[in-house]
Amino acid sequence: MTQPRAQLCIWTDVDPAWELDFNRWYDREHMQERVAIPGFQSARRFQALGECPRPWLALYYTDTLDVFRSEPYRKAFANQTEWSLRNFERMRGTQRRVGELALELGEPGGEGGALAAFVIPESGADMATLREALSRAVREDHVVRGSVLRTDSGLSSPVTPNTPPAPADMMVTIEATQPEAALEHAQALAGALGVAPEGVYAFRMLWRLGA
């Protein structure tokens, strides 16, 4: 059987005093550096729409989860650039997740310009329930894609100071052409899983870099 794709998710805040350098680092070095690693397919950056404790989201897609166990990735992870280390120090409340994309539904290869996301415990829903709910969501107007990232705690080591390791959880995302549609359907799904609407956040895509 074909192994599922994997994803690295960095969800963070940064002191506004360093925001320009933070964005310059991501846009001029860090995404290019990561996408150059063998097995990486693409990277995307997002910014939150509305209030969000972590307004910056970066998603990296790889062929399989084994890419994060590979020697090229381990070497890059262990030898961060000086610019990276400075920005890691400035990032706040960072959540770093690495895991398999346990579900990817919707238009094959499709990516929405807007995304809504929420997190549930690994025991928060079974895959059959999530698959059925996402299958309905991706048939709605404006929605192009839905996915579930199952976090691998062992591979989700923090890169920022004083940050606890990621728990065994799942991140659910719905992508759409319109932010309102992404948020509406993500909130409906989250509500069915016991997540309050305040726990669902909408983002606009800033840009994408392919390998």
- pLDDT in tens for each of the 211 residues of the chain? 689 999 999 999 999 999 999 999 999 999 999 999 999 999 999 999 999 999 999 999 999 999 999 999 999 999 999 999 999 999 999 999 999 999 999 999 999 999 999 999 998 889 999 999 999 999 999 999 999 999 999 999 999 988 888 888 999 999 999 999 999 999 999 999 999 999 999 999 999 999 8
- Kindly state whether residue 62 falls inside one of the protein's structural domains: yes
- Kindly state whether residue 28 falls inside one of the protein's structural domains: yes
- Kindly state whether residue 1 falls inside one of the protein's structural domains: no
Domain range holding 133?
6-210
Give the orientation angle of helix 127-137 with respect to helix 179-192, to 10 degrees. Answer: 150
Helices of type H across 80-205: 82-90, 127-137, 179-192
Residues 160-194: b if buried by 16+ CB within 10 A, e if exposed = beebeebeebbbbbbbbeebebbbbbbbbbbeebe
What total number of domains does the chain contain? 1
Place of tokens 């020697």: 71
What CATH number does the domain containing 27 carry?
3.30.70.100
pLDDT (0 to 100) of residue 162: 85
